[in-house]
Chains A and B, each alone.
Chain A
Amino acid sequence: GAVVSQHPSRVICKSGTSVKIECRSLDFQATTMFWYRQFPKQSLMLMATSNEGSKATYEQGVEKDKFLINHASLTLSTLTVTSAHPEDSSFYICSGQGSTGTDTQYFGPGTRLTVL
């Protein structure tokens, strides 16, 4: 199956700093990429959907100025958590989807963010 990578896998940062997470589709072109957040013992919550070359669509309650998403190419999307605070500590998972819209989403391995 298709492979999606995320980098870094784990990051610890101080409160107030910004953190960038990369999501790459390694062997397919991801027209659409999704970013999810998962708090401990909870389900995955969709944060935003991004199409290559377009602005991301954010879900209700997700601050677009705090969670900056860039989908500059068909194989790379980035999520930047700006001015991170301890409540942003979470497991962030991206997924990539091909061009037909009903294609399976391929999930990355996730990034564990801890904000001190």
Chain B
Amino acid sequence: ELKVEQNPLFLSMQEGKNYTIYCNYSTTSDRLYWYRQDPGKSLESLFVLLSNGAVKQEGRLMASLDTKARLSTLHITAAVHDLSATYFCAALGRSRDFNNAGNMLTFGGGTRLMVKP
């Protein structure tokens, strides 16, 4: 069974600082996703990582994937207040029902990021 762990679960940081969120998963996965969730809202897709060594960047966020270590990271550069949100990683794994064509996502516990002005 695929398990996904994120750390830290809560992160308070000052504007302008850098930090990294870690996402470990327990078994082989086809894809690794990062999402952002604002309070009371649904998920906003940030990145999808498909292969070992994949790196994607959007603004102050950069995501990477190491499939051998089963680790993905989300790096925040020079944080700003607008980045305050909860960030989830999710790994794509096979559905437990093999008659089901869909592959299921398993989510990490989330990292609640608060960037202080």
Tell me the dominant secondary structure on chain B's binding face.
loop
Question: In the complex, what distance in Å separates the CA atom of A52 from the CA atom of B40?
Answer: 29
Neighbour of B100 across the interface among A1, A32, A105, CB < 8 A: A32
Question: In the complex, what distance in Å separates the CA atom of A93 from the CA atom of B31?
Answer: 21
- Are B102's CB and A108's CB within 8 A? no
Q: Does A99 contact B (CB under 8 A)?
A: yes
> When A49-B95, A110-B41, A110-B42 are in contact, do A43 and B103 touch as well, CB less than 8 Å?
no
- Residues in A whose Cβ lies below 8 Å from that of B112: 41
- Are A105's CB and B105's CB within 8 A? yes
A17 to chain B, nearest CB (A): 23
Q: Which one of B95, B101, B108 has the highest number of Cβ atoms from chain A below 10 Å of its Cβ?
A: B101
Q: Which one of B31, B41, B42 has the highest number of Cβ atoms from chain A below 10 Å of its Cβ?
A: B42
Q: Does A75 contact B (CB under 8 A)?
A: no
Interface string of B57-79 (1 = CB under 8 A from A): 00000000000000000000000
